[in-house]
């Protein structure tokens, strides 16, 4: 019997809802076919946006959406994506398969998508191949309410009032595809660019600097040393490559066994150490913790599915992905005093997507149902809690058997999320609540075979279902969590 102790007396920080954010890029079928089909499509749409996709994203309360990339942002020039669609420039998407980009989805379409979803826009500007003037004019076009040539152009293109834009990323992966810059050089260029970020609305623009890849702690150190006073947050990119040591491949998304199961989870759980060390470095230069930490690209990255365009990064999504998604969201919750946003890659049809589309059909992936279960943590108060764990797995990939987080919402309900990483063992848990007493519970679980996944032909193989294997007690609640599962209990 493992013990879970929840200290209701110790309310910590509020969990920023933007931890549950998403990422969209002009990559493969993410935007086109996945989100945007055009107003003349036979697929039901509103102003070109797929109604089924928008509805599904609204259901999980997507709070913030990052666009246009990603690598695509480093070659994106916003003027290509405004005006009459048939007259927009056609460009080459050199990063992702060499597709011809017709720019029919641009600034106006992105803000319309955010309006339909009900989320905040997060725009990543082009520092890699762009210019300061280009960024400055884009911000004016989007957010200035006065009378200028650019605002007249915006009105001519159909948007009378300025949009509200809070989140602005300045550069993307500038240590590689965004210019092959050193940390010091990027910090200097960032300082130049951010100087010309004007806040035309009532709210100041929240400036996000390109942070490190994985464990590049020197990048964080140099960036904080040279630019900490000029930024609001720095971003981390961390992907899990479960097969990286197998002939240089990233591994398969469906065809894997128990060893790959544990290796993937062990790699994914490294996220916690990355957060701890990077934020520790940030504290040296920012002892009051003013600068936030963001993980605006994360998730599992496998070999593309056989028979698909390798440049489109389409992969399937299994119970393994649900488990690692839940594990990371629990970690983000536990460190939500420093993390202000996270954006899983990517929303539709690319990498660890929450949705997969095929013509007029949409499939909710196992990862989607994790976001549906965890949405109750958004803006809730993190509670102090402790879960007894043990080590499991093969010697090379020893991991804890479970992780968790607990919050209390403004509705007074307690939200407990627990992940069981074991491939074959269930655990009995005795939960004690200090400072409160629960009189009723509602619970949901997602579990199944490690390779189980959803397709158009079988869309409900993996989904959340109600969970009844619990017993209310004087102390709190006792329950058994099966292997390979994600559990939500609301008290």
Tokens of 332: 């983000």
Type and span of the H or E element at 374? helix 366-374
Tokens of 489: 């209990």
- Interatomic CA distance for residues 384 and 286, integer angstroms: 25
For 268-413, strand residue ranges (E) read 292-300, 339-345, 355-358, 361-364, 381-387, 391-392, 399-400, 402-408
- Report the alpha-carbon angle 480-482-252, nearest 5: 160
Q: Which one from 109, 140, 173, 252 is the annotated catalytic residue?
A: 173
Locate tokens 């009995």: which residue? 428
DSSP secondary structure letters along 105-163: S-HHHHHHHHHHHT-EEEEEE--SS--HHHHHHHHHHHH--S--HHHHHHHHTT--SPP
Active site residue 173: yes
Contacts of 466 (CB under 8 A, 6+ apart): 442, 443, 444, 445
Q: Which one from 297, 430, 440, 442 is the annotated catalytic residue?
A: 297
Active site residue 297: yes
Of 125, 106, 105, 119, nearest to 164 (Cα)? Answer: 119
CA 189 to chain centroid, in Å, comes to 26
What residues does 11 pair with on adjacent strands? Answer: 383
Its sign, for the CA torsion 95, 99, 103, 107, is negative
Of 38, 30, 135, 138, nearest to 85 (Cα)? Answer: 38
Cite the active site residues: 173, 297
């Amino acid at each position: 019997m493992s013990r879970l102790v929840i200290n209701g007396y110790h309310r910590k920080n509020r969990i920023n809802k933007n931890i549950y954010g998403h990422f969209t890029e002009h990559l493969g079928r993410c935007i086109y076919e996945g989100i945007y089909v055009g107003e003349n499509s036979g697929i039901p749409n509103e102003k070109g946006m797929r109604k089924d996709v928008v509805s599904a994203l609204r259901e999980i309360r997507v709070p913030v959406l990052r666009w246009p990339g990603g690598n695509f942002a480093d070659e994106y020039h916003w003027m290509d994506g405004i005006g009459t669609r048939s007259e927009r420039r056609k460009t080459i998407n050199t990063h992702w398969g060499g597709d011809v980009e017709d720019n029919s989805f641009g600034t106006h379409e992105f803000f319309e998508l955010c309006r339909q979803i009900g989320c905040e826009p997060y725009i990543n500007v082009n520092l890699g191949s762009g210019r300061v003037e280009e960024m400055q004019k884009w911000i004016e076009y989007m957010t200035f309410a006065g009378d200028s040539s650019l605002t007249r152009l915006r009105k001519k293109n159909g948007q009378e009032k300025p949009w509200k834009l809070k989140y602005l990323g300045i550069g993307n992966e500038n240590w590689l595809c965004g210019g092959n810059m050193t940390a010091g050089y990027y910090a200097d260029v960032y300082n130049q660019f951010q100087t010309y970020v004007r806040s035309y609305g009532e709210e100041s623009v929240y400036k996000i600097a390109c942070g490190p890849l994985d464990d590049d702690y020197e990048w964080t150190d140099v960036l904080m040393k040279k630019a900490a006073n000029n930024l609001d947050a720095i971003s981390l990119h961390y992907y899990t490559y479960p097969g990286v040591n197998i002939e240089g491949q990233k591994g398969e998304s469906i065809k894997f066994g128990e060893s790959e199961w544990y290796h993937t989870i062990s790699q994914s759980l490294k996220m916690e150490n990355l957060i701890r060390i990077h934020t520790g470095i940030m504290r040296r230069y920012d002892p009051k913790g003013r600068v936030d930490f963001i993980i605006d690209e994360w998730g599992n990255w496998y070999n593309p599915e056989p028979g698909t365009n390798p440049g489109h990064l389409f992969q399937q999504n299994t119970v393994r992905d649900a488990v690692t998604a839940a594990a990371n969201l629990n970690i983000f919750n536990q460190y939500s005093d420093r993390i202000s946003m996270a954006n899983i890659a990517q929303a539709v049809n690319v990498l660890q997507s929450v949705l997969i589309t095929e013509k007029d059909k949409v499939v909710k992936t196992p990862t989607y149902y994790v976001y549906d279960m965890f949405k109750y943590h958004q803006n809730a108060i993190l509670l102090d809690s402790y879960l007894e764990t043990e080590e499991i797995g093969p010697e090379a990939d020893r991991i804890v058997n479970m992780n968790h987080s607990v919050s209390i919402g403004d509705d007074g309900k307690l939200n407990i999320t627990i992940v069981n990483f074991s491939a074959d063992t269930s655990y009995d848990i005795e939960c004690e609540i200090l400072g409160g007493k629960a009189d009723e519970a509602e619970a949901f679980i997602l579990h199944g075979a490690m390779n189980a996944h959803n397709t158009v032909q079988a869309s409900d193989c993996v989904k959340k279902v109600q969970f009844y294997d619990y017993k209310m007690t004087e102390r709190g609640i006792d329950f058994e969590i099966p292997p390979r599962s994600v559990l939500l209990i609301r008290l």
